[in-house]
Amino acid sequence: MKNYKVCVYAISKNEEKFVKRWYDSMKEADKIIVLDTGSTDNTVSLLKELGVEVHEKIIDPFRFDVARNLSLELIPEDYTICVCTDLDEVFEKGWKEKLLQIWNDDINRVKYTYNWSFDEYNQPATTFLANKIHKRSDYVWKHPVHEVLECQTEEKEIICKEIVINHYPDKNKSRSNYLPLLELSVKEDPLDDRNMHYLGREYMYYKKWDECIATLKKHLSLETATWKDERAASMRYIARCYKAKNDLDTAVECYLDAIEEAPYLREAYVELAYLYYEKEDYPTTYHYLKKALDITKKSDSYINEEFAWNSFIYDLIGFCAFKLGYYHEAVDYTKKALDMDKNNLRLQMNLEIMENYLKVI
């Protein structure tokens, strides 16, 4: 195992509440560099007290790719491995040793496990493979927001799921600049399918239903939009918009399109099932939930969503099974839901009702 030098680099702005926790998980690196883009709290002083190399620069107008590239340029040339993180992220211990064990001169990028969100029991909810560990040379950040790291040469990537980063975001922090930055990104590169998808999703978050539908239809029409997982997600988001507009027939068609596009993903089955549940069509709800449960492997992409894999799906199918007279199934499914959500009083009451019902039939 060669002694490659590892540098963690990041950008920051008003992250004082995360500094100590972030540093403690990053300090296995040989060097830590932070580019602060205008903190008005104690972020800079706290980082310096911990021995982090801090540089300060106001970027106006702000864009993430510019900030990332400036922070990358601060890394000395003799550092082989660069690890880009944010201050709301935490490495699990031993990450550097695992990285050095797999790295060799032929590799220029590593994919690792990224736990993007956690449930109330601190168990990973949304997990996918991220790839912000890379070689010092031949990489550049692109796009004003939801920036991506592009390789300027032939990319040779390796997966190491044993390297794990956990994401604990500040839920109160404003991300209001994302929408205008995404609009700028699509304006700069209208043929980039990834950011077209992100822009449409952002319109959905802002309840701009018509803008979301139009943008995601553009995404689906792009020749480069070939990744089925993301295409299916666009179809689901379009369906959500039609549902919000009370056009349920079109919403159903879009969910069915998403299922046809990526039948190996649970999410569209579950969302379609819930639409029928709201219509009190329990047989159809049950049918699609059973289809969802036939899928036992969660994807490694950011497309997977918590509701398709947590207690919700068992809660819903347990209720439908009870309504349909499948009482033993109802008990079994509700128990599974409770195993995942042990403190849920409503589920506890439902299970008691179901079990009592079985005693008298």
Q: What is the pLDDT of residue 1?
A: 59
User: What residue ranges do the domains of the chain occupy?
Assistant: 6-167, 310-361
Distance CA 230, CA 26 (A): 32
Task: Calculate ∠ Cα 345-350-352, nearest 5°.
Answer: 95
Q: List pLDDT tens digits, range 229-239.
A: 999 999 999 99
- Kind and range of the H or E run holding 10: strand 6-12
- Per-residue pLDDT averaged across 62-71, rounded? 98
Q: What is the pLDDT of residue 172?
A: 82
Q: What is the pLDDT of residue 176?
A: 83
Distance CA 341, CA 338 (A): 5
**Model confidence at 308: pLDDT above 90:** yes
Q: What is the pLDDT of residue 9?
A: 98
Q: List pLDDT tens digits, range 49-58.
A: 999 999 999 9
φ/ψ of 172, rounded to 5, equals: -95, -5
Q: How confident is the model at residue 361 (pLDDT cuts 50, 70, 90)?
A: confident
Q: What is the pLDDT of residue 359?
A: 81
**CATH architecture under which domain 6-167 falls:** Alpha-Beta Complex (3.90)
Q: List pLDDT tens digits, range 160-195.
A: 999 999 999 988 887 888 999 999 999 999 999 999
Q: What is the pLDDT of residue 360?
A: 78
Tell me the H-state helices in 206-344. 209-221, 228-244, 248-261, 267-278, 282-293, 311-323, 327-340
Note the pTM of the prediction, 2 decimals.
0.92
Distance CA 272, CA 241 (A): 13
Q: What is the pLDDT of residue 85?
A: 98
Q: What is the pLDDT of residue 236?
A: 98
Q: List pLDDT tens digits, range 106-129.
A: 999 999 999 999 988 899 999 999
**Model confidence at 2: pLDDT above 80:** no
Q: What is the pLDDT of residue 174?
A: 79
What is the chain's mean pLDDT, rounded? 96
**Model confidence at 159: pLDDT above 80:** yes
